[in-house]
Amino acid sequence: MAAAAGARINCFLNPINSLNSKATTRLTTHLTFRLSRRRPPMFCTCASTSAAADDPFVLTTPLYYVNAPPHLGSAYTTIAADAIARFQRLLGKKVIFITGTDEHGEKIATAAAASNSSPAQHCDLISQSYISLWKHLDIAYDKFIRTTDPKHEAIVKEFYSRVLANGDIYRADYEGLYCINCEEYKDEKELLDNNCCPTHLKPCVARKEDNFFFALSKYQKPLEETLAKNPNFVQPSYRLNEVQSWIKSGLRDFSISRALVDWGIPVPNDSKQTIYVWFDALLGYISALSEDTEQPNLERAVSSGWPASLHLIGKDILRFHAVYWPAMLMSAGLGLPNMVFGHGFLTKDGMKMGKSLGNTVEPNELVHRFGSDAVRYFFLREVEFGSDGDYSEDRFINIVNAHLANSIGNLLNRTLGLLKKNCQSTLVIDSSIAAEGTTFKDTVEKLVEKARVDYESLSLSSACEAVLEISNAGNSYMDGRAPWSLFKQGGAASEAAAKDLVIILEAMRIIAIALSPVAPRLSWRIYGQLGYSRDQFDAATWTDTTWGGLKSGQVMAQPKPIFARIESQTEEENGVEAPKKVKKNKLPQPQQVVEA
Ligand code: MSP
């Protein structure tokens, strides 16, 4: 998209390639004001540092291209976003979780033609396949925006007109190499042999057009200053250097209209052209905020929650979000998002999984075979958020069996089994009293606090690890105390054993809340077995992870496995959502199940 080296731009109207220093100072002052309007200049997802506690936590996934149905790579961002949204809700924040589909442009029009559909029919169909996958994955989004929605079109036009009125749009000729899959003009020096795009491994095509340009170069200094003042704007921190060096190498104006693409929003000042798909799609983050019941209007949409707290994206679209988007917002006089987090890629045999390369794993099939909790847990636990991670089915089965079935599931099941046998499934003492004088409670408190800090800093894998460590500590406590033999001794030993069970079950209660952002169904099954209702589970907050929730007299439900091991189907009879049987020759050695 940035004008390629060797490409020619001939300005027809109002060329703006630099600002005088007085104008830059005015712009910078204006931006500083906009940035600090709602939140402090320190960027952090932590609710504690937020200026106004009642500001909503607005987070977004990218709006996915509808050239093909979703794959595991697209599901990954959305799973992570959902876990973060659920965690913020547990903290008591009002959350607006935005996702949606990016439906305009050449790539979509070509995909529609290839399937003998009109672009509109094609978009309806594929957009629906995203909605359906999100349902299967238990994604609890608040807004789903489609860029073909008329309210979006109205807001894009209004935004475009503002930028035009600010003198940041001009007309010019453009010639360069275009990657249709990236929907981006490429710099020749970033291409492989035969002008192939390094991401899609397909040749770029030569294009020459008369386009409208956005004066990105005018925002070079303001962007540099913004990043210098707010280094947390780009996360993880190692991606900031990359962004800073793009900016330092010089920002070129980019083309924001297409003369040869019909499938798009018409340019307000020239209906023969359509708005470039990226300029259009980024605005979905704002148009999503517009209520369906009201006349779409930029200011109203902005007042419903802009600026966003967090844009979650893959690292391949960082330049659009950390350079072009802030500059566009500055031009329109709108506040910047608090943070852009660029995660890594899910890879298969080292190559980015993608629709264009055709090396994807079908997410619906994974959910169908293993259940949504397993899929969510595996990717959040196994891939360090920010880094790349390779998918392997053996690893998947090993991890979910060891963590969810054995460490967590088996601990609950054997504890409830002992309680049923020896205490009529009823707690004999308050958990706060039961834990007096034990160090186990301190361990749980430290781990749950660690999980909270990890969730807040988006270290999702570490958060999962901290929760798992609670169950590992519970298993060690159980094995060390051996309550099954204490019960056999009777008297005081038996009383001590009954206390031990309360202690373990209290830890399970805390696990259920702390794991609920990642594995919501599994967490509910744990909570339900502890004798709570669905309403009580839905009303739980992070404060409820404080030790002492379980009280004497609480009656537990019948023990049932909460997570069936992947090679077993026996639990299906017990009403547990059991994964489909996996062929024996694909299975790793079964994990040892600890005896109660
Ligand atoms: N439509 C644009 C985004 C516009 S946002 C205003 C787009 N769409 S996409 O469908 O191609 O990609 C959406 C997201 O999926 C990107 O963040 C991309 O990084 C992510 N992923 C696509 N393949 C992926 C993997 N293999 N692994 C992890 N994420 C990947 O870009």
346 lines ligand 1 (CB under 6 A): yes
- How wide is the angle at C-alpha 562 spanned by C-alphas 140 and 585, nearest 5°? 100
Pocket test for ligand 1, best of 103, 317, 328, 341 (most atoms within 8 A of CB): 317
181 lines ligand 1 (CB under 6 A): no
- For atom 6 of ligand 1, the residue with the nearest CA is 282
* pLDDT, averaged across the chain: 87
Buried/exposed code over 101-130 (b: 16+ C-beta within 10 A; e: otherwise): bbbbbbbbbebbeeeeeebeebbeebbeeb
What is d(CA 111, CA 391) in angstroms, rounded to the nearest whole number? 27
3-state class (DSSP) for residue 42? coil
- For atom 24 of ligand 1, the residue with the nearest CA is 73
264 lines ligand 1 (CB under 6 A): no
Task: Put residue 129 in one of left, alpha, beta given phi > 0 → left and psi -120 to 50 → alpha.
Answer: alpha
CA 138 to chain centre: 13
Task: Specify which of 249-253, 293-297, 468-472 reaches the highest per-range mean pLDDT.
Answer: 468-472
| Confidence bin at 410 (pLDDT 50/70/90) | very high
Range in 193-207, 306-320, 346-360 the model is least confident about: 346-360
Q: Ligand 1: distance of its center to the CA of 314 in Å?
A: 6
3-state class (DSSP) for residue 214? strand
What is d(CA 130, CA 576) in angstroms, rounded to the nearest whole number? 26
> What is the 8-class DSSP label of residue 4?
P
3-state helix, strand, coil in the chain (%, to 5): 50, 15, 35
Specify which residues 266 forms β-bridges with: 274
- For atom 23 of ligand 1, the residue with the nearest CA is 73
Instruction: Over range 515-543, report the average pLDDT.
Output: 98
- For the CA of 282, the closest atom of ligand 1 is 6
CA gyration radius for the chain?
27
63 lines ligand 1 (CB under 6 A): yes
pLDDT at residue 52 in the model: 65
pLDDT at residue 201 in the model: 84
pLDDT at residue 352 in the model: 85
User: Is the pLDDT score of 350 beyond 50?
Assistant: yes
282 lines ligand 1 (CB under 6 A): yes
Task: Please write the tens of the pLDDT for every residue from 426-458.
Answer: 999 999 999 998 999 999 999 999 999 999 999
Q: Which residue has the tokens 């397993």?
A: 374
- For the CA of 312, the closest atom of ligand 1 is 17
243 lines ligand 1 (CB under 6 A): no
Instruction: Over range 123-141, report the average pLDDT.
Output: 98
- Give yes or no for a cis peptide into 236 (omega within 30° of 0): yes
| Of 291, 316, 312, residue with least CA distance to 149 | 291
**Cβ distance 55 to 38 under 8 Å?**
yes
SS3 sequence, 263-320? CCCEECCEEEEEECHHHHHHCHHHHCCCCCCCCCCHHHHHHCCCCCCEEEEEHHHHHH
Considering only residues 206 and 339, tell me which one the structure prediction assigns the higher pLDDT.
Answer: 339
What is d(CA 145, CA 155) in angstroms, rounded to the nearest whole number? 12
77 lines ligand 1 (CB under 6 A): yes
User: Is the pLDDT score of 469 beyond 90?
Assistant: yes
User: Is the pLDDT score of 161 beyond 70?
Assistant: yes
| Of 189, 198, 152, 199, residue with least CA distance to 314 | 199
pLDDT at residue 361 in the model: 87
345 lines ligand 1 (CB under 6 A): yes
| Confidence bin at 186 (pLDDT 50/70/90) | confident
Instruction: Over range 85-108, report the average pLDDT.
Output: 97
Q: Which residue has the tokens 């210098």?
A: 228
User: Is the pLDDT score of 170 beyond 60?
Assistant: yes
352 lines ligand 1 (CB under 6 A): yes
Task: Please write the tens of the pLDDT for every residue from 17-55.
Answer: 333 333 333 333 233 223 333 333 222 333 333 446 688
Task: Please write the tens of the pLDDT for every residue from 480-505.
Answer: 999 999 999 999 999 999 999 999 99
331 lines ligand 1 (CB under 6 A): no
Share of the chain above pLDDT 70, in %: 86
User: Is the pLDDT score of 14 beyond 80?
Assistant: no
User: Is the pLDDT score of 1 beyond 70?
Assistant: no
- For atom 5 of ligand 1, the residue with the nearest CA is 62
Instruction: Over range 158-164, report the average pLDDT.
Output: 97
- For the CA of 344, the closest atom of ligand 1 is 28
145 lines ligand 1 (CB under 6 A): no
